Structure 1
Amino acid sequence: MISADNLFKGFGPKQVLRGVSFDVPKGESLVVIGGSGTGKSVLLKCLLGLERPDSGSVEVAGLRNPRPQVLAAQVGMLFQGAALFDSIPVWQNIAFRLMRGPGRLRAPEAKALAIEKLARVGLDKATADLFPAELSGGMQKRVGLARAIAGDPPVLFFDEPTAGLDPIMSAVINALIREIVTEMGATALTITHDMRTLRDVADRVAMLHEGRFYWQGTTDEALTTDDPVMRQFTEGRTTGPIPTLR
């Protein structure tokens, strides 16, 4: 459902991705970890068609090197900062894509669907008429999650889903992601630095290091491996093969 074949991507003299290859089968949840500046966001943009790789290819939901407009109906995306539109109410944020293009929903249908998805992420119908500025950070994340699943897409992407949240709300968001991915039978790719998210969400883990997928394995293997790079990252050590000044 999600795959990359020998992806290379650079910006000027800086080579970010140096031959990234992986496959995520249907229904699996892959968590990608790696230090700041290692190319996780660039990889995500390549998968979404927002950046074109210099060489190599991607395939998402059966679409090879898709344009974002074509891919939109097949994927849901939870952005790191929720990325809600401030000027429209919550229900319109959730149904934004579904109210546009061929087969678009009319406003009453769109609002009913938004209320249904809000209930799925633990928010009541009164939230539908609020504006993003009236929501807490945790509520904004839940609304972002409701938007991601609004069209029941087969593929879900999560970019640092617990960034900026306290430990309790982080656990709530992780649990919702795990439940929804399982319930929908969706294929998911999550980018995170949060080891709690890794434990709660991942079926399999991959580490992006030095421009490639340096390590791949199960969640248990990720937390118990003797590999020095993985151990330094998962345990947050300041000494080891990963430089702390970069």
Structure 2
Amino acid sequence: MARRTPAGAELTRSAPAHWPGLNERVWVEVQMPDSHGGEAIRIPTRVEDASEASLVVAAPSFRGDLHVVAPGLPVAVCWAGRRGQSRQDFLIAEVVRRRVPAWDLAPCGEVAVEQRRRYVRVPATGGVRLSAVPGDPLAAEVDPADPVVEPAVAARLLDLSEGGSAVSVPAGTWVRLGRRARLSFDLEGVALDQEGQVVRTLDSLDAHRLEVVVAFTEPVAAADRLRRYVMQTQIRQRRGGDR
């Protein structure tokens, strides 16, 4: 794919050894300008292509993208690699308009790897039940004469770490930023139950769903089992040639 270099960008001479692979799930982070709210947003997408000094991802859509996305825009790409949670800064070199719109990204920094075991997240699958925690100050006000019952939410696991989990929930539920929730799920045949708090919400590729990150509340009763799961998954990824 032809690519032009944004003015002022200093490209790395060769691709880092642990870039995500083709079709791998990644997240892009964009700092919106003050004219569009000034917030940092994090959007899921996937890798479309890669070369020695170019990473191509499917163009994610978000509010304001038509106004801010252009060559030269700085973005960060995050992914779960075999050494842990990885992150690298890029500049958009080209916005490719075709059947699948894409961003051609030029690296302008080194890969940073978060190796602290507690925060290393690995893929996980299966169902998870989110229940509201009594006494949550962000819950709907309860009228003793007409109490509000917040139903449990059936969700899907996306990844796990010793300190938290990312899950996919249906849009429009009570699960939102700041809410406390109890996660109940099965991990390799063992039932786990852990309280946590929603610390991040992300748009999903599915418009009918939302991705939320739940930080587990200390103490984490299943910390040892979660740690073993993370380590074993990393070993399997390494043996399978995960990049």
- Of structures 1 and 2, the one scoring higher in RCO (CA 8 A, sep 6+) is 1
Instruction: Specify the structure having the higher radius of gyration (Cα).
Output: 2
Question: Under a length normalisation based on structure 1, what TM-score does the superposition of the two structures give?
Answer: 0.26
Question: Under a length normalisation based on structure 2, what TM-score does the superposition of the two structures give?
Answer: 0.27
Structure with a larger share of its residues in strand: 2
Structure with a larger share of its residues in helix: 1
